Structure formats: structure tokens, C-alpha cells
Structure 1
Amino acid sequence: MQVFRCPACDRPLYLHNTACRCGQPVQFDPDAQAMRTDATPCRNRERISCNWMAESADGWCRSCAMTRTVPDLGSDENLQLWIQTEAAKRWMLAGLARWGWFGPSDPGDRPSFRMLSEHTSLGNAKVVMGHASGLITINVSEASEAERTRRRDNMGELYRTMLGHMRHEMAHFLHLRLSEDAEFLAGFRDLFGDERADYGEALKKHYAAPSPASESHVTSYATAHPHEDWAETIAHLLHLTDLLDSAAAAQLSIPDGYAPGYDAYQESDPHRLLGLAVDVSIRANHVNRAMDLPDLYPFVLTGPVREKLSFAHGHMRRI
């Protein structure tokens, strides 16, 4: 993610900022990838600290307009969980906008989101995250770090975040969009397998006896079905691209790496992008260990996984 500048005083601003330290309120413009002072704020600015500019006639920003259902706000904890969840959605969408998704030049369908909580004013409810025909369901309960950590440990995962969930579920929607192109679908099936295989049966088999990440799958869950392999691959492509872009924006340097002002989203060579991102992650892992913290990016990218990431990169970049 870029570091932005205040139009009034040129101080640095970050994606979540609603105002600069100089006192100037700002609104984020996802197409210009810049903070503005002359745009109409989203209707959700006061309610959930949304700092994006309004785009729709009824006053919603691009991100908030995608939310069809909000969690039960009769349960006290859900407002803060929803705020954190929407912040992760905005971060994901800001990255995708860098590749031309969902802006004025993109005439394709947009997803809708159901933001649900397992804790309601009427008692507990079961919420299953997933995507179906353009509708993405997100369990805001996992915006709680304690709850997310418990599930990560129970499932033996190396990484589990709300931003990761957003990127994974959005990947299922993007597969729908990309599958309108017969060339994409043919290439996808050659690399990932036939997505028409019985999805329900595949998940039953996976949860009964999970397979570890393999030479050709970036995570264990990616082994379950071609759809999940794609979703995990896209999530990791977004992780690595944004990791590299954020390192460059923070002016972290690596020998023989990128020049000042490097934009990872403009990188056309997927092999160079992956190489630089892995180099940054190895160095960041080393720094994290000095504080006894988990590795920033605890995954190994094999040759077959890199091939899938390269294929995905070629189809995700619409600029």
C-alpha cells in the first residue's frame, strides 16, 4: 500500500486516515489513489470511520455500496467488529483498484457482501464464510484477534487474518468474472484442474483428512478443490504484491532491488515481482524473529506454485 500525502500540508497519510495532523479532513479517491479535500465523504464516515469519497447518488462510497447486510448492531461488540471488517475490505479494494478492478473503466459486475456476526441480540448463530453467485458472506466475529487466533490454531494454519479472508473470498468472485473468457478458462484448467468437479464432496474429503501443502499447492486448503486452489493463489498474489508495494512505499531497500518510487502493481514481470517480494519477506522474517514474533510471510513458493501465481498475475492485471 502506498503512503499518501495531505493535499493541504504534504504530511504523510495512510489509508485509514480520516484527517491529517494539520486538522484537514480527507477523503480517499480509489481511482486517483490519492487523498482529497474537495470530495463528498461517504455516508458511513461517522458510523464506521469510512474515509472514502462518496460515489453513488445516495452517498455511499464504492466499498460501502457493496455491503448489502450489516451485522446485528443490537449486540454491543458487533459495531467495532464491523468497523474492523470494513477497513479490511477497503484495503483489499484499494489494491484491486490499482489493477483496474471495479472503477469507472470496469463495466463488469461487482460483488455484494453480507457482514454477519455469530453473536446477535437473540443469541449465537452459525456463520459460514463463502461466496455464491456474486454474494460474499463474511463472519465479522473473526475481526476479534483472540477468536481468529483460536481458529487458526485449531486448524493448524500458518496465517489467518480478516484481510486474508477478504482476498480469498473476492478471488472466488473474480474467477466468475474471468471465466467469461474461454482462453482464461482453458489455461486455468490446465494449471489448477477442472473446477466442475463436485465441490461439496471435495470439501468433505478435505476436512475428513486434510492434505498438507504440496509441491503444487501453496496451502493445505488449496489442495481441496481447483476453486480453493485458485482462491488461495490469488490471495497470496495479493499478499505478496502488497507486501512488496508497502516495503517500497516505506522506503525499505534491498540490494539490487527496486528503484525509489517503485510501484509493485505496475510490475509486468511476475517472476521479478515474486523474487523481490520473497527477498523482502525473508528480511522481514529475520527482523520479526528479533522480537520473537511469527514470520511475516511463513510460506515457501515452489516452482509449480510460482507458475500458478504468474498465470494469475497475467489475468489480474487489467491496466
Structure 2
Amino acid sequence: MHVFICQKCGNMLHFENSTCLNCGTSLGFLPESLTLSAIDRQADGSLSAVAAPNAMYKPCGNATVAHCNWLVRADSEETFCAACRLNRTIPDLSVAGNDERWQSIEEAKRRLIYALKRLNLPLTSRLNDQENGLAFDFLADKPNDPAMTGHADGLVTINISEADSAERERRRIELGEPYRTMLGHLRHEVGHYYWDVLVRDGGKLDAARAVFGDERASYSEALKRHYENGAPAGWESAYVSAYATMHPWEDFAETWTHYLHMADTLDTAASFGLAIDPVATDDEEVNTEVAFDPYTEPRFQRMVDAWIPLTVAVNSLNRSMGQRDLYPFVLSDPAIAKLGFIHDLVRGAL
């Protein structure tokens, strides 16, 4: 994720900012150019954006309730921004705490949508395409009816309890996972959607089966086996995570998730001009300069060569703060090859 610059005062801005903390200028995100812009309110209530002087805008309909800082063209009949239009069901905001949970979910979802747009992936709301469109349901558990996080035919369902950090950590420990975040959930579930769009409907089934296995294997049997027996011994030699061993669909979705982890984190590192050069060693494997755009970089090996030393460095920083590793995974050569498949798939190189 880029860091941005306030066009009024030159202060550094972050993706979630709606106000420049230095000069107080209002800010809005322009989905068509993926730019965070200083904005001015006009006499008629419309918004002018410094980064797009030839257009006028209005706030997203969720600007107040969900703290959405994305804008909508003033001449559009749409009420909500490109990210919020993907919502089919939002939490019941009359329930205490649901407003904060929803705000947390939407913040993560906007990061997801930003990445999908940077990758130029097909992204259509179910409102516009009932058969192939993407939609989100953010649901709460009901008595004897738990809300299951998952994906089905373009509909991503997220249990809103995952937006509660204490509950999410409890589940992480209960399931023995090294990592569990809202953004990770969203990246994983949308990976299933893009299996349908890019693999199943894109004529890439044979190529995907050669890498991830045959998805026609019984999912229910695989799920039962996984939760009864766990991941097979030595899974680290071929998969990005233990859950990826469960079924080819999950292997693809987990690998997709890690690819988006890589792209967005490397983008942030490049935006800060990070270079890794440990004084303790000249080993090239732990030295790098992140000086490329991972969203357009054609050579996946270049991303890998930067990712490994970057994660060594940030994991070490986390440990210095008494925190768990930021990226608690080790990528084997077969796992890297699977990530390379995702790289080629999203770039249309297969």
C-alpha cells in the first residue's frame, strides 16, 4: 500500500486518512485513479479534488457510519462508492459494538479492493451482474445459527465477530494458527471467487490442477479429514500454510492470500524506499532494496528475492517489540512455485 502526500502542505498521508493531521485539509480517495486527494467543499455541497481538477465528487453514503473516505462522482446516480457497493448485508448497527466492528471490516475491505484494482482484476458488483458479480454479507451469530465465514458463487460471508481482536485471537489459538487477521480472511475468501473467475471460467483448470491438485475431490470429506487429523506431517515442504493442505481449493485460496500479502507489503516497503543491508553479514539472501512496483513487476522472482530479506527484517523488528513474527511462515520452493502460478494468472501470462 502506498503512502500518499497531502497536495496542500506536503505532509505524508496514509490510506485511511480523511483529514490531513498537519494542515487539517479534508481528504478523499478517488477509486478511478487510486489516489488520496485533498478536497474542497463547494457552495453547492459538491467536492472538488486537487488530484482530479476536471471532475466533481460527493462523499460515499457510508462516510459517516463506516468512516469511508472513498468518493463518488457527483454526476453519478450511485450513493455508495465502488467498495461499499459490493455490500449486500451489513451488521445490525442498533446492536452495541457492531458499528465499530463494521468500521474495522470496511477498513480492511477497502485495502482489499485497492489491491484488486491495482492488479486490474475483473471486479463487478453483484448488483450489476447477478451471475458473476462479487458481494459481501457481514453477519452475526444467531442462537443455534452461527454465521460461517466463507464463499459461495461470488458471495463472501464474514462473521463480524472476527472484527473483535480478542475473539479473533481466541480462535487463532484454538485452531493453532500462527496468523489470523480480518484482511487475511477477506483476501482468502476473495481468492475462492477468483478461482471461479480466472481458473474455472478462464479455461485454466488443467493448469491449476497440475499445480494445486484436482478440485473435484470431495470437499466435505477433505474438511472432515482435516479437522479430525490435522495437516499431514511435513506439510511445510509444499504448502504456504497447514490449512492449504485441506483441499486444492483451499491451497489455491491460501496461496492467493499470501500473494496479496507479498504485493501489498512490498508496495509499502517500496513507498518508504526501504533497503535491507544487515551490518552482520554480506549474505545476498538477506540483502535487498525494494525499488520496484510489485503490482506491475513482470518477474515474480524479483518479488521473492525482495520478500525473503524483508520478512527477516520485519520479523526481527517485531521480536524487538515483544511481538510475534509479522510473517510467521517459511516458503518452500514448491510453495514459491505455486505463488508464481498466481502471479502469472493475475497477469494473464498462463
Per the TM alignment, residue 152 of structure 1 is displaced from its structure 2 partner at its CA by 0.3
Distance 1:132 1:186 in 2: 22
Aligned to 2:332: 302
Distance 1:247 1:44 in 2: 30
Cα distance change on mapping 1:259 and 1:237 into 2, 3 Å:
closer
The 8 Å contact of residues 6 and 12 in structure 2, kept in 1 or not, is answered as yes
Q: Does 1:151 align with 2:171?
A: yes
Aligned to 2:72: 54
Mapping of residues 60-99 of structure 1, within 5 Å: 60-99=80-119
Q: Does 1:11 align with 2:20?
A: no
Q: Does 1:313 align with 2:349?
A: no
Per the TM alignment, residue 174 of structure 1 is displaced from its structure 2 partner at its CA by 0.7
Q: CA offsets, 1:71-102, max 9 Å, x none? A: 12221011100110011000111111111124
Distance 2:139 2:123 in 1: 26
Q: Which protein shows a greater Rg?
A: 2
Distance 2:345 2:30 in 1: 24
The 8 Å contact of residues 136 and 169 in structure 1, kept in 2 or not, is answered as yes
Per the TM alignment, residue 103 of structure 1 is displaced from its structure 2 partner at its CA by 6.2
- Candidates 303, 306, 325, aligned match of 1:273: 303
Mapping of residues 1-319 of structure 1, within 5 Å: 1-21=1-21, 22-36=23-37, 37=39, 38=48, 39-54=57-72, 57-102=77-122, 109-118=132-141, 125-178=145-198, 179-182=200-203, 184-212=204-232, 213-255=235-277, 257-258=288-289, 260=291, 262-317=292-347
What is the TM-score with the length of structure 1 in the denominator?
A: 0.92
Secondary structure class of the residue paired with 1:60: coil
**Higher RCO (CA-CA < 8 Å; seq separation 6+):** 1
Per the TM alignment, residue 125 of structure 1 is displaced from its structure 2 partner at its CA by 4.7
Per the TM alignment, residue 111 of structure 1 is displaced from its structure 2 partner at its CA by 0.8
Per the TM alignment, residue 249 of structure 1 is displaced from its structure 2 partner at its CA by 1.3
Secondary structure class of the residue paired with 1:265: coil
How many pairs does the alignment contain? 312
Q: CA offsets, 1:210-237, max 9 Å, x none? A: 1153311111110110000000000001
Gaps of 5+ in 2: 40-47, 49-56, 278-286
Per the TM alignment, residue 292 of structure 1 is displaced from its structure 2 partner at its CA by 1.6
The 8 Å contact of residues 112 and 183 in structure 2, kept in 1 or not, is answered as yes
Per the TM alignment, residue 254 of structure 1 is displaced from its structure 2 partner at its CA by 2.1
The 8 Å contact of residues 314 and 326 in structure 2, kept in 1 or not, is answered as yes
Distance 2:217 2:305 in 1: 33
Distance 1:293 1:124 in 2: 36
Per the TM alignment, residue 281 of structure 1 is displaced from its structure 2 partner at its CA by 0.5
AA aligned opposite 2:288: G
The 8 Å contact of residues 143 and 162 in structure 1, kept in 2 or not, is answered as yes
Distance 1:177 1:7 in 2: 38
AA aligned opposite 1:189: R
Distance 1:151 1:228 in 2: 19
Q: CA offsets, 1:271-293, max 9 Å, x none? A: 11022011101011111111221
Distance 2:267 2:293 in 1: 6
Per the TM alignment, residue 177 of structure 1 is displaced from its structure 2 partner at its CA by 0.6
Cα distance change on mapping 1:103 and 1:194 into 2, 3 Å:
closer
Farther-moved stretch of structure 1 (139-148 vs 31-40): 31-40
Per the TM alignment, residue 202 of structure 1 is displaced from its structure 2 partner at its CA by 1.1
Per the TM alignment, residue 206 of structure 1 is displaced from its structure 2 partner at its CA by 0.8
CA root-mean-square deviation: 2.0
Distance 2:33 2:189 in 1: 25
Distance 2:24 2:144 in 1: 42
